[in-house]
Amino acid sequence: MLNPIDDMGRELDAKFTLEKLPDGFALTVESRGGSDQGPNPSRNKNYIDGMLLHLKRMAAHDMRLDEIQVASAQALRLPESERVVWPEGYPRPLRLAEVSEFNELRLAIGRQSAAFQNTSNSTGNNSKRMKLIVRSPEAAALPMDQLEGIFTGRNGGSVWTEAPTSDEEELYKRVANARRKTRRLSEKGKTPPEGQKDVTRASISSERFVRDPNVIAWVLEQAAGSCEVCGDKAPFQRDDGEPYLEVHHVRPLSEGGPDTVDNAVACCPNCHRHLHHGSERDNLRQSLLERLSRLKDWPQKPIA
């Protein structure tokens, strides 16, 4: 059994379990019951806060809720298909990133749980043991330790989960995903991604470096729409409305530099070209290293 840690670092009394499925995973939230003043000791006192936290963390990782089951002892005597409940007024499956009021969703789930109790002759409170099921190829690919990190909030509960890629179009799709996730969990987004110390090449029609979209997303978020070299606003907006800035490696990848946030800056296209081809590029590079405290002067080294 696991307990979640909220965004303030407090461990909640709201036990849950995770189960890998062939096509995704199931998260089971244990029921609330008992009382500090009654004969039965209280359990899972923070059930409501825990359920809200799980829904929000699913949304932050752009997960889709495919099924909800009542998993109480009474319900488990029924065939699985008869345990399913669904909140009224919500599409199924439900993309949680599109939900604006998570407490309303939680209440809607609770109402369906209560309605299930009325038809199954169950007793007790409405905070029943509930199983939330997510099915997708992406969910199925998540390793258990990463799932536990997301839902417990331990190990940072990192939002930086997009895989590196050498395909430029796919890279920027993953950057967009990473930025959406970090905005939903802004406190988590302040912790930079680990990045890649040793950057591999991928052979396509030509060789390209495999770049980490999480590093690009974090650097762009830190820049907040302004070039970190000249300080000017981005020259234009992308089709999606985001300011157009490019991410430059202070020690180029071709010189053995790492794909990490301490080796990357967001810059306008003019400054980016200057950093690569300008006669004053070495002085400009040195100026960046002195001005931006996060940067490290990585040495040049041979690459594999």
- pLDDT tier at 161, thresholds 50, 70, 90: low
Average pLDDT value over all residues in the chain: 85
Cis peptide bond N-terminal to 164, omega within 30: no
Structure-token match 């002085």, residue found: 283
Report which residue type is found at 145.
D
Output the pLDDT for position 266. Answer: 97
The burial of 237, by beta-carbon neighbours within 10 Å (0-12 exposed, 13-18 middle, 19 or more buried), is given as: exposed
Structure-token match 């009382």, residue found: 35
Q: What is the pLDDT of residues 1-26, one digit of tens each?
A: 899 988 777 889 999 999 999 999 99
290's CB contacts (< 8 A; 6+ apart) are none
Give the C-alpha separation, 37 to 143, whole Å.
41
Over range 274-281, report the average pLDDT.
92
A 10 A CB-CB count for 222 gives 17
CB 182 within 8 A of CB 61: no
- Range in 84-88, 114-118, 126-130, 146-150 the model is least confident about: 114-118
| pTM value surpassing 0.85 | no
- Range in 36-50, 75-89, 99-113, 186-200 the model is least confident about: 186-200
Torsion angles phi and psi, residue 15, rounded to 5: -65, 145
Output the pLDDT for position 252. Answer: 92
Output the pLDDT for position 41. Answer: 78
